[in-house]
Chain A
């Protein structure tokens, strides 16, 4: 009886671990132009994406790029970096709207974000690790909780 219970517990544990870390999950990366050497931390990225921080060290305006609202990548990014619920974000952007500050522009794919960042020195974006190549520089690897299932 005891052995059976132990086996069941072990199986349940294994299932929980498997559910928490899906096979093939991948990192989310914050990318910048290759010539940008600034180090950014998660707090910096949060401030940039909330438009609280608006200039690079060289004085140029930062152009943060978001994914479309229904994107899984954006949901993971918002959860990991901004730590705000969609409703809290909506309240934030409404208040910013009153102050004349608009949310980041959006693009619809990792490829589009990457190509834009590769071309535009002022831009910052986020993509799945599988979309990375040497056209951009990784400024930050997001924590494990931002892991994403791979694209279909």
Chain B
């Protein structure tokens, strides 16, 4: 699914996109090749001791299922011997019952995560989404299915040190913290914040330099990145920016109990520029409460990129009330989203999230529009996610 611009003449940008597509093919080839290699070389992984005693100890300790040379652990994927290749993924089954629309039942996608670390400090990572598998709407006699596949993410990364990592490819836009892990099995609520989902492009295709420094008891992390080539494998309903440049700075506690971040993103679309800036924070109060918040403001000449908004999200483990409620969380989010040219939206999302296993989570949530939901569906949503 190359964008039209990239499909035209052989420019530097389209060469880069072709290179990225080649990276995907290479990753697939490596996958096939290392699987074959792993079958021929039934050795313990490089991270395990060579001695038989330690190898036996390791085998007894780690994988939930071992089909030497393949080790499989639910929610952590299958590793192929000492090849450095790991394949896993996740999928979510959803039931949506919007207040003003038909009920929809869907298996939206199956996402495969492929990690290949052939040597120290070099890694290739891809997320291949097989989407639109099936959906059914109440009142309809047909189940809709239009499967398609595209790369949500695909990049190569070289880590020279903790302070200096180079990335090339398609990756999550590092604006705020919610967008870094936005897929449903990894979020507290089944619905995403409007300011993130509507406010800026989820992905960037280009280069990034990022890293972390560790002053005493603190962590300072940074990102500098740019979409220097055309968006790679954009979803059909996306309308990504042509070019962009951004940065992010985060300062926090060494053990992740709290952190503050600031992000800036400039995007160019059809010759017009828009700028988005925001601040975010996270606070974990022992085992009792996790709070996160983001605020974003955007302005410029790009249509749909003139807005401001903010949200606060909380997750409270209910086992504090009763041990019988172990692994059950009360979750909620309050959000204000003010898009220029439209009425401001106030949203309250709340629900329960149950994480009975590492590889399984179930969510039930309700989105209530206190004022004017606009195009943002309010109503009930249930989801069932599996990590494999």
Contact = CB atoms under 8 A, between A and B. Distances in A.
B256 to A, nearest CB: 7
Given A102-B86, A112-B49, A83 B255 contact: yes
A100 B160 contact: no
Interface residues of B, number: 51
Q: Which one of A46, A47, A100 has the highest number of Cβ atoms from chain B below 10 Å of its Cβ?
A: A100
B327 A98 contact: no
B212 A97 contact: no
A135 interface: no
B86 A106 contact: no
Contact of A53 (B53, B88, B214, B358): B214
Given A83-B255, A116-B48, A106 B123 contact: no
A112 B58 contact: yes
A147 B214 CA distance: 28
A5 B387 CA distance: 59
A70 B387 CA distance: 21
B369 interface: no
Contact of A61 (B77, B120, B255): B120
Interface residues of A, number: 46
If over half of A's interface residues share one DSSP class (helix, strand or loop), that class is named, otherwise mixed; here it is mixed
A88 B287 contact: yes
Given A112-B49, A115-B54, A119-B49, A97 B88 contact: yes
Interface in A93-118: 93-95, 97-100, 102-103, 105-109, 111-112, 115-116
24 contacts: A43-B214, A43-B217, A44-B214, A46-B254, A47-B214, A47-B219, A47-B255, A50-B256, A53-B214, A55-B121, A55-B159, A60-B120, A61-B121, A61-B159, A83-B255, A97-B387, A98-B181, A100-B115, A102-B76, A105-B58, A106-B58, A107-B48, A112-B53, A116-B54
